[in-house]
Structure 1
Amino acid sequence: MRELQNVRMKICIYNVDDGETVYNHLPLLVGDIENCTNDGFIEVVNSSDPDSKGLKWPVVEGAFKVLVKLKRGQNLIRLKYGEEILIFKLYRENPSFKHFVRPVYIICEDDDGYFQGPDGEDCSPQSALDRITLGAMLIQTFTAENLKEHGLGRYTFQIETNQLNDPMCHLFRSKLTLERAQSMSGGDLWNHFAKELMESDFDNKDMCKWYCFMSFTRYKPPEDVPYPKTHGEILKYTKGHTALGGGGLALFGTGNLHTWARYIHEIHSRFTDTRKIDRKILMDDSAYREFYWANYATGLGASLHELGHTFNLAHTPTGIMARGFDDFNKVFTVQRLKVRDQPMTKRSNSSSNKTSLPRNISSGPVDGSPFKRSHKSKMNKDICYGSPLRKVILFKLCNS
């Protein structure tokens, strides 16, 4: 392979360096196609992983954000846009922490473990395990990028892995019956599972933070009631739901798990899914935006918020530890310079022109390298949505 600095490349990367070592399984690559303002697709493949398949990600007005799964050790990453190709190395190592995050999917003793979702959606326990595992990888990636952006290094929490060194999610069968679980409050469920998990046969219980999802969340408004309009009304008709984090346990319902991506190639389409939730049938937990993508953004972002509480993080005026998690999708998707054909709330519309994902169509690479480092770069500013290039409150995501 020819040295990158000797080759002029049209594919430019902003947030990682050739040969860099990262500690997350699914790094985010932010970049653009120089001298290009067109839409299209860019393909990424990990040539070092025999199981890796080339995945196409959208290029929006010349800009892109892609995710690529890494194996431990050296990874040869190949990006292709038209005839242009960029090849570079990334190394992945596990964080050298004794403590780790343990994803768990909780099933009642007399239940089949299927979560609620629309017709045609795979809501099986295996589907849940896959979605939660991928969700854990995405919040791990966000944490790494956010800390790096704020000058603290690309560090992140460690996810429990299996024998193949891949992130995993456990299936845990509780001793609670379905009827009993759905009659309990969120606080009572948190207390019960905190005790039950610590008395379980899991190993290393004192070394983990539990990242848990309850399969038995059910939303069912009476047929004769008006269309639910407030979040309070929605919660009134929802059983087996909570979003609580503290101590060693972050606990969530699964009312919007059906909107989450199960596979990496689904991430972009799920984060841009403009179908609307039918509140007569399914739970809407999207900060009143109602779209599938908004339920995914709020649900996944809120899971990091609650996990943050287990890391002893308090609420903050802005960002993930406030309501910044509602915009979590914008970390992984490219927004157009001129917002069009995109559902937005009144609040997000008011700030979108100030913080929507910028572009940098420069005249050429900095120092001849495709890995740009100009602090004047607008794209560089948007690795994590709306964050300034200075040290700020940990986990700050956006000015909301």
Structure 2
Amino acid sequence: MSPSGSSSVMKLTQPTSPFAPKITSISDGSIVHSKIIVVSGEINEPQLRPMDGNIAVQHDKDGQAFPSTNWPVSDSYFKALVYLSPGWNKLRFDFTSPKLSSSSNGPPSVHSSYIMVNYLPLNSAPPLQLVVLLGKDSPGTFDATPSRIQNEGNDLSMAIRKFRMAAHLWQAFTAEQMYRHKFGRRAFRFDEEWQTGTLSIQDWETGVQKNETRVHVVRCDRTVAELRDLNLAQQNNQASKKGDLFSIAGDTISKHFNIKPGQKQYVACLILDSHWDKQAGTITAHAALGGGGDDLKLAIFGSHALQSYPSCIEEVVPAFTDCTKTDTSHVANDCNESGSSWEAANIGIGAHLHEVGHLLGSPHQETGVMLRDYVRLNRTFCIREPYSTRTKSPGMRVCKQEDECGWHRLDILRFRYHPCFRTPGDEPFNTTDNSIQYYGIDGGRLIVLASTGVAFIEIRIDGADLCHHWTEYLNADPRNAVLPRQVIITEAEIRSKLPEDKKKSKVSLQIWSGSSTSTEINDLAEVLSQKNIIVLPPVKLAPSDGMMMNMVGKSFGDKRYGFKSKKLGHSSMNGSKPQEIILQSCIYQNKLLLSVKVWAGMALDGIEFCYEDGSSQLFGKSGGSVSEFQLDEAKPY
């Protein structure tokens, strides 16, 4: 719906001049799902007449304007972060430049363009929760230089504002990356609550209330001194308990959210009591870790770079262009890559995003955020880059799309089918069956089946730490996102994707479904070997009343083959034995399978197949309690 309530989008005023900003990153009438989006564009023909200037973004949402924001133009290119309210947003981009003054001593003339963007918040996907974790006796402050403390403070309120803004940069960056990979501007969402707005400094100063991202403040049962124990410090080579901060945070957060069995939370956690221990030369109460179990997916990171973060949209460009030298008398130079304030912001915001990538299921990759490419994160939000102490080189005058940091394609594929990224237009899928099956069949072929569809397959070479090759099964038409439920691939097809000197290497596969589940084939050649193909007994007639004896056991048809499924269970307990069965209904033509009994206690003990004649076959053991599932007699099994 348009702002006026009609079914069509409001017709916008045409650009006022050839120098009106041309938006290149998003089209008029687009639908987005993030409160803040990245918008980029250019002025006139940059190659013909490059010029510097300023873009002022004016917002109008049902008469409630978001404060105007200003963004630099460099050589006729610009980038801006735009705040949106739910529904249609009318956005005006005003360009001014001293080179385009209406008179020699008059004010610069204004050149305007307009677009409409529909912000549709997501409420059905699970949110990424934000948590600030403190020690039980923490004063609620973070490391900062004296000048920073004097100018803006370093209390809990400022920490919340900076962490919230950093999270929105993660979201805007991810949404833009998803769009560039043809998946729309989908991204993880946040929980919101009615509170004083902080994403605009003007809202914060005037006390304007808005629905903005909630940040949970959680105190753990450890003191600050206990959290800052050098044995917990991840960057301390002599630390004996490097992973314990993750457990401490996880236990505390699980209690805070009161996670019930079968529930799941996704949480990005900022440890506020991180501290640069100058004497020890390490950051205490800090660990960069992401992952978790079935109930809690967690990404933790320290607050040691928090002073360099922007606390609102207006501070994004100043934060990412601040060349103030890092004063290691008060704050850390993390990994010796944070020699200036803007580089510290890159490392802090970007490295925490890296851990969020782990939280969402991404491993390390060959390029992108998951390979520390976040040292260029600033280029997504700023058109110009300052001098870098890390590379000892002047920054880029124009940061174009190809110069930016990015998510790897394999990260994007994981996110596309992740529950946190679902949108209302996505195809519903059966959440009761997330299984993936595969069978090695004749001719070096592999059949893969998944009720929610086969999304992509990662191909890994033995000994390689990273995945460099994969195959996708996505429909090229974004309007038809249905995945194939069965695919057949050949070993030759898989090996053709490998470099010439690796074609004979041992290959493993990671198969991903449309429900974000996966299964692994450790050795493709072993699965396709002859030992997984068995000759089935000929079809026979089962004995029955009135059947003549000379008909019993009579065979029909040609030789038949069966293909072994993947192993069910991975028990290594004493007494465990591998077991295989061939269902009698596959051998006897008139033997009817009526039901399946599942025997289970704390784990699955066995599966029993029950036939019409009263006989049964037991796969495993009959321990624990039993549940019986009747089958449709009209269907063959």
**Shared topology, TM-score over 0.5?**
yes
Change (3 A) 1:387 1:130: closer
Indicate conservation of the 8 Å contact 2:79/2:381, yes or no: yes
Name the CA distance, whole Å, in 2 between partners of 1:7 and 1:38.
Answer: 18
Q: Which letter maps to 1:129?
A: I
Q: Which residue of 2 aligns with 1:84?
A: 111
CA RMSD, 1 decimal = 2.7
Q: For residues 42-121 of structure 1, what are the structure 2 equivalents within 5 Å?
A: 42-48=55-61, 50=64, 52-82=66-96, 83-121=110-148
Q: Distance in 2 between matches of 1:130 and 1:44?
A: 22
Is 1:218 the counterpart of 2:309? The answer is no
Which position in structure 2 is the counterpart of 1:259? Answer: 308
**1:135 corresponds to 2:166:** yes
Structure 1 residue 202, shift from structure 2 partner: 5.5
- Alpha-carbon separation, structure 1, partners of 2:281 and 2:58: 42
Shift of 1:301: 0.8
- 1:158-307 to structure 2, matched below 5 A, reads 158-163=189-194, 164-183=210-229, 185=232, 186-201=242-257, 206-222=263-279, 234-235=281-282, 238-247=283-292, 248-285=297-334, 287-307=336-356
Q: Using the alignment, how far apart are the partners of 1:297 and 1:68 within structure 2?
A: 20
* CA contact 1:234–1:284 (8 Å) conserved in 2: no
Question: Of 385, 388, 392, which residue of structure 1 is paired with 2:404?
Answer: 385
AA aligned to 2:252 is E
Pairwise CA distance, 1:45: 2.0
| 1:286–1:326 CA contact under 8 A, matched in 2 | no
User: Aligned partner of 1:392: which letter?
Assistant: R
Partner of 2:38: 28
Paired letter, 2:167 = A
Paired with 2:410 and 2:255, the residues of 1 have a C-alpha distance of 36
TM-score, normalisation: structure 1: 0.81
Q: Which moved more, 1:126-135 or 1:146-155?
A: 146-155
**2:361 alignment counterpart:** 312
Q: Kindly indicate whether the alpha-carbon contact (under 8 Å) linking 1:273 and 1:291 is maintained by their aligned counterparts in 2.
A: yes
The alpha carbon displacement at 1:24 in A equals 0.9
**CA–CA separation in structure 2 for the residues paired with 1:6 and 1:135:** 33
Question: What secondary structure sits across from 2:300 in the alignment?
Answer: strand
| Distance in 1 separating the partners of 2:29 and 2:257 | 41
SS in 2 for 1:106: strand
2:144, 2:330 within 8 Å by CA — same for their partners in 1? no
User: Is the 1:287–1:298 Cα contact (8 Å) retained in structure 2?
Assistant: no
Indicate conservation of the 8 Å contact 2:59/2:89, yes or no.
Answer: yes
- 2:568 is matched with none
Instruction: Indicate whether 1:148 and 2:191 are aligned.
Output: no
Deviation at 1:6, TM superposition (A): 8.0
Matching residue within 13, 20, 25 for 1:15:
25
C-alpha contact 1:97 1:158 (8 A) present in aligned 2: no
Looking at structure 1, the residues matched to 410 and 393 of structure 2 have their Cα atoms a distance apart, in angstroms, of 21
Cα distance in 2 for residues equivalent to 1:40 and 1:132: 30
Q: Which has the larger radius of gyration?
A: 2
The 2-side partners of 1:45 and 1:287 are apart by 40
CA-to-partner distance for each residue in 1:46-92, whole Å, 9 max, x for gaps? 11162511111111111110111111111111111131111221111
Q: For residue 204 of structure 1, report the CA deviation from its aligned partner.
A: 8.4
Determine if contact 1:37/1:61 at 8 Å carries over to the other structure. Answer: yes
8 Å Cα contact 2:135-2:220 kept in structure 1: yes
Matched, 1:41 2:66: no
Shift in Å at residue 151 of structure 1? 1.7
Secondary structure of the residue that 1:90 maps to in structure 2? strand
Contact 1:286 1:294 in 2 (8 A): no
Return the offset for 1:2.
5.6
Q: 1:241 and 1:6, CA in 2 relative to 1: closer, same or farther beyond 3 A? A: closer
Label 1:203 to 1:87 Cα distance change in 2 as closer, same or farther (>3 A): farther
Correspondence for 2:443: none
Structure 1 residues 344 and 176, CA, compared in 2 at 3 Å: closer, same or farther? closer
1:133-183 Cα shifts (integer Å, max 9, x gaps): 111111001101111112222111111211454212111122211111111
Amino acid at match of 1:145: E
- Offset at 1:395? 5.6
Any unmatched runs of 5+ in structure 2?
A: 1-9, 97-109, 195-209, 233-241, 414-637
Count of matched residue positions in the alignment of Structure 1 and Structure 2: 352
Question: Which structure shows the higher helix fraction?
Answer: 1
1:342-353 pair list within 5 angstroms: 342-343=387-388, 345-346=390-391
Unaligned runs of 5+ in 1: 223-232, 359-380
TM superposition shift of 1:38: 1.6
Counterpart amino acid of 1:169? V
8 Å CA contact 2:333, 2:339 repeated in 1: yes
Indicate how the Cα distance of structure 1 residues 81 and 93 shifts in structure 2: closer, same or farther if over 3 A, else same: same
* Cα offset, 1:319, TM superposition: 0.6
Identity over the aligned pairs, expressed in percent?
Answer: 24
The residue type paired with residue 147 of structure 1 is M
Deviation at 1:95, TM superposition (A): 2.8
1:313: how far off? Answer: 0.4
